[in-house]
Chains A and B, each alone.
Chain A
């Protein structure tokens, strides 16, 4: 369980605002993601958590530092790093089945792997909706379809960018349990960006608390609650308090980069 899968070394991601000032979306970020863990990134908006996830996906590049997976530098998107967007980016012109099997077609391995699509469709509870179009699905089902599409490539890591942020409370807890089931079945490493403290504690093995301006990881908290977590458990509540305290500390002492 302690094998390093992803190594993030001294990563800096700098934007320039309209006035030309440097804004550190990420500053000197170092982190190792272990194989088979679920790690959450939590923090106020602007702390660079989504930027970090996009760097991991290869959708963005750092100005300095490096990200690598199994020793290989990440410089462009690859199907071994699945990505789930906040809004399920399903193709509206394809049916659920076509959407989920799209990765196979994109890689031209559809013919010999057709059966896999059906497996993930039933695993994500989408059986019977194969011929439906995305707009005919509920938000939760659409997100499940997007997850099935990413899982089909059997990725080494699943990157989830606030995947449940757009759902109502019931759908959210349902999908959280779905994610745990997937993890138990496949042991896929997951990196989850969230702004929901409970979600982070409920799902993760580790939580990286991030602060903004400059975006960096301020603390990494190990979650040792075992499986079948209870949101009212003492340990759960204590962790929630600890994270909230950490987040408050971060927001009370903002460090202005410049004054207007």
Chain B
């Protein structure tokens, strides 16, 4: 593999994309022509041009938006400069260029339909520039809300994972626990956690603890049931093999059953994360006095739709980062699966 790579890199006789590692790549398969890259640059330049040369109708501070577009163009060009010496980076960059091109067109059209002509109904569809403007002007409150949501998320989610994994292990391992806990999990699993909001708000001391409880309720079920499933489906041969080399109960549980359940546990955690995101935002919209869910509701009440969109963008970013972190953990723990599972 590596020899092939260096050979192809050193060889002057073939074009950079004729290297079989690049031309036969299944992941970055889009055309390897420079034309799409330049069109992508052009489309962002066009978005910039639209913003500069066509007079706006709305009162928007356009500087952040222009800085954003200019830095996008700058980033593309510098990536290209770096990619000229690295064919693999170049293949990756060119792969995404059609999409980046479409994005530039989308931004131009969006600008035209909002700020420049007000074709789209005014408060509900703000321009990209005004969303960015809000992010810059209101950054203190948005950041505070984002951190608050993050704190609430992790408090509930980690409780859910810890209790979910441990109860899942008990259920999968010991039939007494299975007998008593399984029905509870089955019933509580089908009840959407948000139904507890009215009750939780009146019983629990504050909106934070309510949120923690709801997110815990959302994440406990998938983690516990997937963990239990992974533990109880451990093939007998692994236990028998371990017993014949001298393993005791504790080893069988923690070094055989739990590692076997790990892929399932992570599946449970990812499902729990998705449930928890919804629950987090809903609980903040209803009960809380802080957080991104609250911010969205509050912005809507004031008719500040740009702020709402800004918050949505931040939510998307925040949740992607959380999923990214879970993904990194997962790849580390399950690196033995590389080559077994695609």
Contacts and interface: CB of A to CB of B under 8 A. Distances in A.
A94 B337 CA distance: 10
B245 A153 contact: yes
B196 to A, nearest CB: 37
A129 interface: no
Interface string B236-252: 01101111111110010
A52 B242 CA distance: 19
Given A133-B339, A135-B339, A89 B238 contact: yes
A110 to B, nearest CB: 12
Given A89-B237, A91-B256, A106-B248, A135 B243 contact: no
A92 B340 contact: yes
Most A Cβ at <10 Å: residue of B241, B244, B262, B340: B244
A81 interface: yes
Nearest to A60: B240
Contact of A106 (B255, B259, B339): B255
A84 to B, nearest CB: 9
A60 B97 CA distance: 64
B260 interface: yes
Number of contact residues on A: which range applies? 20 to 34
A150 B339 contact: no
A92 B244 CA distance: 18
Contact of A83 (B238, B240, B248, B251): B240
Nearest to A134: B336
Interface string A82-98: 11010101011111000
A77 B260 contact: no
Contacts of A153: 245-246
A85 B242 contact: no
B258 to A, nearest CB: 10
Most B Cβ at <10 Å: residue of A59, A77, A103: A77
A148 to B, nearest CB: 11
B246 A78 contact: yes
Given A106-B251, A106-B255, A93 B244 contact: no
The secondary-structure label for the interface of chain B is: helix
Number of contact residues on B: which range applies? 20 to 34
A200 to B, nearest CB: 23
Contacts of A91: 238, 256, 259
Contact of B237 (A79, A85, A94, A105): A85
Contact of B245 (A87, A102, A135): A102
B260 A59 contact: no
A95 B335 CA distance: 11
Interface string B311-341: 0000000000000000000000000100110
Contacts of A150: 244-245
Contacts of A76: 243
Contacts of B256: 91
Nearest to A54: B240
B255 A105 contact: yes
Interface string B256-295: 1001101000000000000000000000000000000000
A59 B240 contact: yes
A97 B238 CA distance: 17
A13 interface: no
Nearest to A85: B237
Interface in A175-215: none
A16 interface: no
A82 B244 contact: yes
A87 B237 contact: yes
Nearest to B335: A133
9 contacts: A58-B244, A59-B240, A59-B243, A77-B240, A82-B245, A102-B245, A106-B248, A153-B245, A153-B246
Interface of B: 237-238, 240-248, 251, 255-256, 259-260, 262, 336, 339-340
Closest CB pairs A-B (n = 9): A79-B246, A89-B241, A103-B245, A77-B243, A83-B244, A106-B247, A93-B259, A89-B237, A93-B336
Given A91-B256, A152-B245, A159-B244, 6 more contacts: A77-B243, A82-B245, A93-B262, A95-B336, A106-B242, A153-B246
